[in-house]
Chain A
Amino acid sequence: DIQMTQSPSSLSASVGDRVTITCQASQDISNNLNWYQQKPGKAPKLLIYGASNLETGVPSRFSGSGSATYFTFTITSLQPEDIATYYCQQYDNLPLTFGGGTKVEIK
């Protein structure tokens, strides 16, 4: 299985801050990576697909980049409604696997 390691596991930032989350794959996955946002008690929501493509309707303050084994997810200006846990997911190989998640809180 491809292991996806996210860091940090949690972070606290102020409204308006730039937030960056990293996701590292245990082997080269090209750009076969998606990012999701999950709010408490809700299903995950797709934000970024193919490492850097913004899903329709998702605010432009969210972005993704990277390839091979190293990926980043950025919120350029943190908003109160961005409080959630964020997950990366690889689809290069089966089984599909997720990172452990990064919980984002407001300072």
Chain B
Amino acid sequence: QVQLQESGPGLVKPSQTLSLTCTVSGGSISSRSYYWSWIRQPAGKGLEWIGRIYTSGSTNYNPSLKSRVTISVDTSKNQFSLKLNSVTAADTAVYYCAADYYYDNRFDYWGQGTLVTVSS
């Protein structure tokens, strides 16, 4: 059973960079069966897909965030990471990492989510 766990600062100052890491256990991040995605959810609102990375290192980003987002993978640590720069209060949300099945893009496995607040 694949498990994902997000980690990173819960508070980020405006204009700075939000950095989160997702550690994958119970499976290999080098699996060809999954993309590794980031999704966020502002309080009381819906889900927004941020982007994803494949084991090859290829990435796809949501155009709405593309200019500010970088997703990377560290296969030696079985982790993938999110960096979102120039954050504002609008980036305050619960951030989830998720395993996105390669063949039909269903999010099979999710982390528990981590709240990131952007505030001075």
Chain A contact residues, CB within 8 Å of chain B: 1, 32, 34, 36, 42-46, 49-50, 55, 87, 89, 91, 94-101
Given A1-B63, A97-B49, A98-B47, are A46 and B104 neighbors across the interface (CB < 8 Å)?
no
CB-based contact B107/A46 at 8 Å: yes
CB-based contact B113/A96 at 8 Å: no
Chain B contact residues, CB within 8 Å of chain A: 37, 46-49, 60-64, 96, 98, 100, 104-108, 110-113
- By a CB distance below 8 angstroms, the chain B residues around A42 are 112
- By a CB distance below 8 angstroms, the chain A residues around B47 are 44, 87, 89, 98, 101
CB-based contact B110/A43 at 8 Å: yes
- By a CB distance below 8 angstroms, the chain B residues around A98 are 46-49
- By a CB distance below 8 angstroms, the chain A residues around B110 are 43-45
CB-based contact B62/A95 at 8 Å: yes
> Mind listing 22 A-B residue pairs with CB under 8 Å?
A32-B105, A34-B104, A34-B106, A34-B107, A43-B96, A43-B110, A43-B113, A46-B106, A49-B104, A49-B106, A89-B107, A91-B104, A94-B60, A95-B61, A95-B63, A95-B64, A97-B49, A98-B47, A98-B48, A98-B49, A100-B46, A101-B47
**A87, A91, A96 interface centre (most CB from chain B within 10 Å):** A96
